[in-house]
């Protein structure tokens, strides 16, 4: 365990539980993500709204007349300008569709329904009623129409629903009454046990809240289904296509836009589902309710026969033999279609330096270079025993160049280093033949500078500089020359004495905290090789003098640091992905706090981090550059030390590894003040005193006064009295909420809402108090009567973004203060659940938390 810390301590003590109270947190808006649809021009100046409420303006004149607007999704809401359709934009605002020229008066075909992406434009509307039980498995609809399915199996039989309102729609099983749920879906009332066959007493009509149930959905706008296992997202309908590993977690909903036949995947199925992210997943592991296609088709491809189906990158001729000069069927296979390959073989060199040919089910040969098999070498059975032609071990080919200028500035260095790292080990063949020429294979020239040019083109920088000295002139003309003390990954370093006497070039892949650099260099020993780390001021004996450093972009970022995270820091759980372990912590030293991301890698790969420190104290942000982290090493990225104030401090961090961004990490911690409980039955007054002090109350009450106010007896303090007393000592004028007593878990509201309440309280500067069995605490003692109860205070948390939970974040670690001996401890979510199994109803968790 490389990043975790362990704290051990002791404990004990008292309390008796009682009843329950219920409050639900509003779900946060989902952030807009790619892909986008459009652009569509604004027909007038449009205000941005925070929801599908015409009066909920949060950005005046966000879009000017004629400005091009990109959409993430569409949904139905209050009628504006004669239309009940609303558009959710790239910037995360709602706008009436009546003011956007989409070319149609209804939903745009192919644009997802927002509810199918988990984006609810009515999230802030209405209050919560319920819970009510689902009689059967119920699909969530986008309107009061049984055919407008948005989420399949949204509510399983026996699960609990919370409603906002009711209205009338298309009849289902003889009833025209529909229920609108807290999650934003319409469900037939006949499938819900409400205690009545008619309108629920006191339930508002949806039309009175501005929620329109009569706008039919877009049939080509996607539909949500549950995944049966964790799935990769593929860039083609083939298990051999490049993929985003573990893109969709088991048990989560994915939005499927259409379905198609492709390469056979699992269970003999050839069906693939295209998601709203533009990726393909194997339908076999998606719970669509059928083993056949149930949605609109993405293309006209039929089920595959013998062989394997692969995507064609460009329109291809079908040749009669393994040679570009043989007779052919011109344009036999259109670009973007699928071709069935029965075997592969080596033949005449064709494109990109490749000598691989694929034999199709039509008995023709196609150049493998333009077939998306997921590999540059043979992946299927051989058609014959012909040897690979002379020259070019591996016959390497490389990805094509993205459109110049298409890569964001912050991604440029990441793209360059990942591109360079992906080519390590590629050898030249023949007379300096290599795949890094401007139009593919280039022979006859030294190619170190061609390789460097290629890495920059992978980041959208349109350069082809076959002589290394030209890099110096290019950078000088653009103000992008840098000093040796300011080298960053993605830069190139030039070896020699001047641009006119330049001998070699290297792409900077990593910068050590002590300033040493690691480079990836083409044509070093006739191959692409990792060199270093070495001192740029004294690169020998590996290299001669470095005379120039050229940056690809004018940006700034910080260097990763060495050093360990302090043992008493407030941290998230250690996350692992693709050989990288990473963790966000908040370190506190006296009145100072800082945010730190620690990263460890099991292999050479590119890592980048951005860290933000905020909250009631001073704030600071830092970006640690994309750098090639060497295997079995770790680094940290840290903000400056800032003063922590009452109200606490929040930290957010994003880690990118191997070019893929990981879910954002979050921590929060309060400025802790607390004293040990003064009597054996004073765990309640002790935690109340610490909670009030940690919120910055001007005069901290004594434990005796708090015991009197809370009616503490020889057996302890009741939760209801705890909540009432703490509300009386909550500082006013600081934006704090009063406190309530809540139970969450098996018999009440879902546990995730309770944990979310605790997290959001800490985020706004308020701790929560937790009722536990002391013998079940990790630092507690076993034994006791089983009736013994105790209070502890939660004042810090660690969480990670999650699409699986109703709250948008999954909180897994907590910072806990124990009044028994005034000690602090770390607890995981499982440990908290175990220790908090102390409420009146087994399986429930009791907290005294803010009424957020």
Q: pLDDT tens digit string along 775-798?
A: 889 987 644 445 678 999 999 999
The mean pLDDT of 809-825, rounded to a whole number, is 91
Residue of 568, 596, 569, 566 lying closest to 584 (CA atoms): 596
b/e map 492-509, b = 16+ CB within 10 Å: bbbbbeebeebbbbbbbb
Backbone dihedral angles phi then psi of residue 474, each to the nearest 5 degrees: -60, -50
Contacts of 439 (CB under 8 A, 6+ apart): none
The answer to whether 226 touches 252, Cβ cutoff 8 Å, is: yes
Alpha helices in 603-750 (DSSP H): 683-694, 703-709, 719-728
DSSP helix, strand, coil percent of the chain (3-state; round to 5) = 15, 40, 50
- The answer to whether 436 touches 522, Cβ cutoff 8 Å, is yes
**With contact defined as beta carbons under 8 Å apart, do 98 and 82 qualify?**
yes
Nearest CA to 171 among 143, 205, 145?
A: 145
What local confidence, expressed as pLDDT, does residue 31 receive?
Answer: 39
Nearest to 442 by CA among 523, 502, 514: 523
Is the per-residue pLDDT at 28 higher than 60? Answer: no
Query: Lowest mean pLDDT: which of 70-74, 110-114, 399-403, 814-818?
Result: 399-403
What is the per-residue pLDDT for 8? 25
Span 629-634, average pLDDT: 82
pLDDT at residue 226, rounded to an integer? 86
Strand partners, 531: 519
pLDDT at residue number 233: 93
Alpha-carbon gap, residue 614 to 500, rounded angstroms: 50
Query: Which residue is it, tokens 């089983």?
Result: 786
3-state secondary structure of 635: strand
Paired strand residues for 443: none
DSSP codes, 140-191: EESSS-TT-EEEEEEE-TT-EEEEEEEEEEEEETTEEEEEEETTS-EEEGGG
Contacts of 56 (CB under 8 A, 6+ apart): 49, 50, 94, 124
Q: CA separation (Å) from 116 to 88, 94, 188, 445, 668?
A: 13, 16, 18, 54, 31
User: pLDDT, tens digit, for every residue of 70-85?
Assistant: 998 998 888 888 888 8
- pLDDT higher than 50, residue 661: yes
Q: Which two structure tokens, joined as six digits, stand for 567?
A: 């043992």
pLDDT score of 841: 53
Share of the chain above pLDDT 90, in %: 33
CA angle 208, 213, 219 (to 5 degrees): 160
Virtual torsion, Cα 361, 362, 363, 368, nearest 10 deg:
-70
Helix (H) or strand (E) holding 497, with range, is: none
Q: Which whole number is the average pLDDT over 579-596?
A: 88
532 dihedral zone (left: phi>0; alpha: psi -120 to 50; beta): left
Contact 686, 593 (CB under 8 A): no
In this structure, what token pair is assigned to residue 823?
């000690």
Query: Residue 748: its pLDDT value, please?
Result: 61
* Cβ-contact 123, 180 below 8 angstroms: no
Query: Phi and psi (nearest 5°) for 484?
Result: -70, -20
Q: How far apart are CA 606 and CA 714, in angstroms?
A: 60
Which of 87, 33, 30, 31 has its CA nearest to residue 276? 33
Question: Over pLDDT 70: what percentage of the chain?
Answer: 90
Q: What is the mean pLDDT of residues 678-697?
A: 93
What value does the mean pLDDT take over residues 25-44? 63
Give the Cα separation of 195 and 193 in Å (integer): 6
Contact 376, 354 (CB under 8 A): yes
Mean pLDDT of 759-781: 89
Would the pLDDT of 190 be above 60? Answer: yes
Helix axes 469-478, 448-457, angle to 10 degrees: 40
Confidence category of residue 320, pLDDT binned at 50, 70, 90 = very high
């Amino acid at each position: 365990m490389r990043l975790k810390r362990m704290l051990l301590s002791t404990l004990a003590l008292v309390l008796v539980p009682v009843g329950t109270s219920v409050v639900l947190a509003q779900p946060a808006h989902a952030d807009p993500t790619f892909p986008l649809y459009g652009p569509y021009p604004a027909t007038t100046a449009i205000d941005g709204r925070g929801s599908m409420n015409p009066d909920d303006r949060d950005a005046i004149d966000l879009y000017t007349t004629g400005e091009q607007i990109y959409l993430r999704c569409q949904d139905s809401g209050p009628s504006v300008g004669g239309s009940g359709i609303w558009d959710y934009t790239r910037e995360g605002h709602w706008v009436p569709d009546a003011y956007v020229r989409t070319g149609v008066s209804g939903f745009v075909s192919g644009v997802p329904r927002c509810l199918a992406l988990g984006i609810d434009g009515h999230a802030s509307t209405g209050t919560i009623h319920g819970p009510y039980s689902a009689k059967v498995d119920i699909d969530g609809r986008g309107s009061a129409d049984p055919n407008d399915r948005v989420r399949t199996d949204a509510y399983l039989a026996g699960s609990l629903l919370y409603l906002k309102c009711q209205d009338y729609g298309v009849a289902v099983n003889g009833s025209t009454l529909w229920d609108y749920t807290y999650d934003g879906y319409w469900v037939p009332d006949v499938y819900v046990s409400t205690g009545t066959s008619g309108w629920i007493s006191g339930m508002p009509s949806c039309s009175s809240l501005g929620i329109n149930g009569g706008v039919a959905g877009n049939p080509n706008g996607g539909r949500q289904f549950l995944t049966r296992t964790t799935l990769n997202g593929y860039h083609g309908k083939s298990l051999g296509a490049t993929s985003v590993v573990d893109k969709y977690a088991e048990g989560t909903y994915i939005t499927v836009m259409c379905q198609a036949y492709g390469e056979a995947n699992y269970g003999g199925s050839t069906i693939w589902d295209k998601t709203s992210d533009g990726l393909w997943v194997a339908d076999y592991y998606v719970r669509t309710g059928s083993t056949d296609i149930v949605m609109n088709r993405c293309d006209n491809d039929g089920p595959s026969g013998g062989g394997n189906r692969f995507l064609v990158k460009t329109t291809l001729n079908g040749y009669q033999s393994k040679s570009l000069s043989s007779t052919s069927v011109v344009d036999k296979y259109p670009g973007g279609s699928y071709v069935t390959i029965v075997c592969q073989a080596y033949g005449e060199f064709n494109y990109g330096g490749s000598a691989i040919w694929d034999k199709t089910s039509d008995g023709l040969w196609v150049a493998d270079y333009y077939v998306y098999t997921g590999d540059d070498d043979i992946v299927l059975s051989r058609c014959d025993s012909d040897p690979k032609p002379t020259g070019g071990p591996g016959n390497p080919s490389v990805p094509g160049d993205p459109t110049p200028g298409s890569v964001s500035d912050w991604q440029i260095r990441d793209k360059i280093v990942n591109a360079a790292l992906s080519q390590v080990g590629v050898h030249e063949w023949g007379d300096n033949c290599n795949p890094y020429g401007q139009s593919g294979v280039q022979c006859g020239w030294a190619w170190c500078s061609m390789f460097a040019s290629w890495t920059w083109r992978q980041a959208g920088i349109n350069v082809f500089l076959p002589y290394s000295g030209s890099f110096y002139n290019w950078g000088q003309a653009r103000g992008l020359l840098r000093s040796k003390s300011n080298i960053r990954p993605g830069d190139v370093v030039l070896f020699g004495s001047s641009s006119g006497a330049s001998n070699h070039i290297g792409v900077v892949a990593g910068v050590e905290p002590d300033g040493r650099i690691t480079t990836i260099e083409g044509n070093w020993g006739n191959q692409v090789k990792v060199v270093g780390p070495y001192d740029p001021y004294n690169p020998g004996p590996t290299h001669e003098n470095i005379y120039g450093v050229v940056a690809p972009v004018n940006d700034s970022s910080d260097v990763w640091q060495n050093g360990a995270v302090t043992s008493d820091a407030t941290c998230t759980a250690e996350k692992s992905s693709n050989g990288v372990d990473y963790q966000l912590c908040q370190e506190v030293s006296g009145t100072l706090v800082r945010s730190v991301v620690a990263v460890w890698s099991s292999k050479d790969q590119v890592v980048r981090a951005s860290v933000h420190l905020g909250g009631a104290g001073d704030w600071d942000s830092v970006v640690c550059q994309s750098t090639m982290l060497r295997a079995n090493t770790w680094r940290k990225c840290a903000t400056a030390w800032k003063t922590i104030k009452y109200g606490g401090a929040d930290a957010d961090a994003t880690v990118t590894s191997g070019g893929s961004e990981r879910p954002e990490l979050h921590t929060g911690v309060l400025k802790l003040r607390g004293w040990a409980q003064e009597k054996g039955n004073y765990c309640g007054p002790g935690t109340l005193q610490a909670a009030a002090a940690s919120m910055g109350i001007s005069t901290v009450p004594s434990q005796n006064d708090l015991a009197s106010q809370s009616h503490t007896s020889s057996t302890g303090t009741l939760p209801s009295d705890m909540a009432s007393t703490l509300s009386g000592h909550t500082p006013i004028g600081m934006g704090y909420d009063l406190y309530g007593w809540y139970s969450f878990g098996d018999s009440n509201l879902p546990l995730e809402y309770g944990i979310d309440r605790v997290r959001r309280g800490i985020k706004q500067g308020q701790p929560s108090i937790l009722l536990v069995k002391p013998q079940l605490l990790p630092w507690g003692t076993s034994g006791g009567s089983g009736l013994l109860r105790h209070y502890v205070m939660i004042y810090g948390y660690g969480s990670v973004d999650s699409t699986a939970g109703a709250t948008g974040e999954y909180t897994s670690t907590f910072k806990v203060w124990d009044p028994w001996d005034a000690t602090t401890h770390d607890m995981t979510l499982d440990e908290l659940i175990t220790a908090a199994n102390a409420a009146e109803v087994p399986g429930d968790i009791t907290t005294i938390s803010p009424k957020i």
